[in-house]
Amino acid sequence: MIDAVQRYFTRLAEGFGQGWNRFWFTPSDPFTVCVLRIVAGVAALYFVGAHSFGLVEWFGPNGWLPTATVQRVMEAAPGEGAGYQLSYLNLISSPTLLWILHAVGLVIIATFALGLFTRVTNVLSLLVVLAYIHRAPMVAAQFEPVLALMLFYLCFAPSGRYLSLDSRRAKRDPERDNRSWGATVSLRLVQVHISALYLMMALTKLGAETWWEGGAVWWLMAQSQSRLADLTFVRNNLMLINAWTHAIVLFELAYGVLIWKRLARPLLIALSVVHWLLMALLTGLVGYCVLMIFAGAAFIPASTLRSLLRCGGDREAAAETEDAKETAAVA
């Protein structure tokens, strides 16, 4: 009896270890992380570039948010992350230097988006984005955390292998196997984090009465200062509003759990486009909603992305082989 129990736990440990290694470290085609590099690079360029309007007014030494004021606000709000937030923008003493560093940051991010010296510019782009987030964390919204997590996880991947200036400069053997376990690690981290975000969004909504009662969509429509379009013409259709409210929660719960099932994945990815476009109309958070749509590309196999973008490249991962490996890793 004891021997049988020992053999069971031995097999259990071995099976878990093999599954863990297969999920995280099976080499994969880095094409998907290269697409995510472009997405994150363009999003970061938009985020930092948007600060060009009112840069000195916001972050200048005599601006609306002096470093000392930001520090006092953060210390007074321990739940939001107390203490000093590290940012090179805190050290700037003149508007001229601020503009110079701002321009340098934009060049770094653009270089990363184009895929030049990707390993270095990826890390530098993350530092630039975090500098702006940490300089004024109280004005950050949902967009910034998603952007930061994508930039951070891409640091582990060869995201300049394709669709980049680095790939044009490099001379690689077309027959060489370019699959990478670093691409797999980066991709899995993004996938796990995105699915967790969906679950947390759904669970948070379940803690609010307006989502249980079915009126949350109405309250979003009523926020005239933030909504992108006036949808209050449907205010009398209570059945539609209630169904829409509950559909949002149901979709986010389903996405967080079922996105790992290969059969359900295409449907959930397609529904996510509709979901976030409608949420953009309701909330006005266009940047965040668009970023969440493209973040879903982390769940699209490299072979499918190649077909959608009509990109060739090295034939190191045929469609059937890639899909079979992904299925085995997630299973």
What 8-state DSSP symbol labels residue 163? S
Decide: 67 and 328 in contact? Cβ < 8 Å: no
- pLDDT tens for 163-210 read 999 988 887 655 566 899 999 999 999 999 999 999 999 999 999 999
| 74-83, 214-223, 286-295: which is most confident | 286-295
Say whether 222 sits in a helix, a strand or coil.
Answer: coil
> Do residue 143 and residue 192 come from a single domain?
no
**CA quadruple 50, 51, 54, 55: dihedral sign:** negative
Rounded Cα distance between 47 and 29, Å, is 29
Q: pLDDT band at 318, cuts 50/70/90?
A: very low
- pLDDT tens for 226-251 read 778 777 788 788 899 999 999 999 99
- The domain total for the chain is 2
> Do residue 121 and residue 201 come from a single domain?
no
Instruction: Give mean pLDDT, residues 122-138.
Output: 93
Q: pLDDT band at 108, cuts 50/70/90?
A: very high
Name the residue range of residue 135's domain.
Answer: 26-159
Rounded Cα distance between 7 and 284, Å, is 57
In a domain, 131, yes or no: yes
Decide: 60 and 69 in contact? Cβ < 8 Å: no
> Do residue 143 and residue 31 come from a single domain?
yes
Instruction: Give mean pLDDT, residues 254-270.
Output: 95
Residue 32 neighbours by CB under 8 Å, 6+ apart: 183, 187, 297, 298, 300, 301, 302, 305
> Do residue 146 and residue 212 come from a single domain?
no
> Do residue 108 and residue 192 come from a single domain?
no
Q: What's the confidence (pLDDT) of residue 319? A: 43
The phi and psi torsions of 173 (rounded to 5 degrees) equal -70, 120
Q: pLDDT band at 85, cuts 50/70/90?
A: confident
The predicted model scores a pTM of: 0.87
Angle between helices 319-330 and 2-25 in degrees, nearest 10: 140
> Do residue 119 and residue 188 come from a single domain?
no
Rounded Cα distance between 122 and 113, Å, is 9
Residue 202 neighbours by CB under 8 Å, 6+ apart: 249, 252, 253, 256
Instruction: Give mean pLDDT, residues 245-259.
Output: 96
- pLDDT tens for 29-84 read 999 999 999 999 999 999 999 999 989 888 887 878 787 777 777 776 665 555 55
Instruction: Give mean pLDDT, residues 245-260.
Output: 96
